[in-house]
Structure 1
Amino acid sequence: MEATNPTSKTTHIGRKISRIRELRGIKQETLATELGVSQQTVSRMEQSEVLEDELLEKVAKILGVPAEAIKNFSEEAVINIISSTLHHTSGLVNYNPTFNFNPIDKIVELYNDKVALLERLLQAEKEKNELLSRDK
């Protein structure tokens, strides 16, 4: 596979991945798990100036952005978007908050908590029934 070719210091792909990951609220550990690598591998990847296109595509998919968005990402553009948004908002009418969590992940987490609670309740009932049947 062909590696992404940096033309200057500002095209450091690893830093762009790191920044987008942070903006999306994704931890290195999560990215590592999704890629099937260690957190240290993700750390080294984020320190790399270049990345193979195939790996970049996988990372982009996990981050929920096109690979081109990573290649063309610039901190200045983000700052410009934020500052222009701040200047044009007049009160809370135009307020569009960005959350650093995925609502689906929260639903899954709540579901898993519910399942764990139900399993504990079932185990407690089993133990209670065993005690009652021994006493008879």
Structure 2
Amino acid sequence: METPSKSHIGRKISRIRELRGMKQEALAQALGVSQQTVSNMENSEDIDDVRLKDVAQALGVSVEGLRNFSEEAVFNIISNTFNSNDNSTLNAVNLQPNFNPLDKVVELYERLVQAEKDKVAYLEKLLGK
């Protein structure tokens, strides 16, 4: 049985391309080859170093990152770095306000009272003339 680091390099290329949201045609264009060549490359167990360097550059990863790619590691990184305090927001950003909502209500009430006082003062000034 093969170890994960020495596994099918073509499958790793295919998976990284998919994770990047890139189609075979886009990778082929970046490499200056046909889509069929990319398909054949993704079905190959081994690729020469020059081609591998070009593929890695087109995918925006290092050659070592491409060779050592592990889908399990990607999911572990994602699960260990995503933090949500609320189970209902699995894939969303959970914003916690850094202010007390009651303080905001009081502030708005005070502004409303001040606006009413200003109106009364203005009306008294008009009636006093």
State the TM-score, normalized to the length of structure 2. Answer: 0.61
State the TM-score, normalized to the length of structure 1. Answer: 0.58
CA separation in 2, counterparts of 1:24 and 1:36? 19
1:88-127: CA deviation from partner (whole Å, max 9, x where unpaired): 3336258xxxxxxxxxxxxxxxxxxxxxxxxxxxxxxxxx
Counterpart residue number, 1:16: 12
Counterpart residue number, 1:50: 46
Say how many residue pairs are matched: 87
In the TM superposition, residue 66 of structure 1 has moved relative to its aligned partner by 0.5
Q: Does 1:66 align with 2:28?
A: no
Task: Please list every run of 5 or more consecutive structure 1 residues that lacks an aligned counterpart in the other structure.
Answer: 1-6, 95-136
CA separation in 2, counterparts of 1:37 and 1:9? 30
CA separation in 1, counterparts of 2:36 and 2:18? 16
In the TM superposition, residue 9 of structure 1 has moved relative to its aligned partner by 6.1
Task: Give 4+ residue runs of structure 1 displaced > 3 Å after superposition.
Answer: none
Task: Please list every run of 5 or more consecutive structure 2 residues that lacks an aligned counterpart in the other structure.
Answer: 87-92, 96-129
In structure 2, what residue type is equivalent to 1:20? I
Report the aligned-residue RMSD. 2.0
* Helix, strand or coil at the partner of 2:14: helix
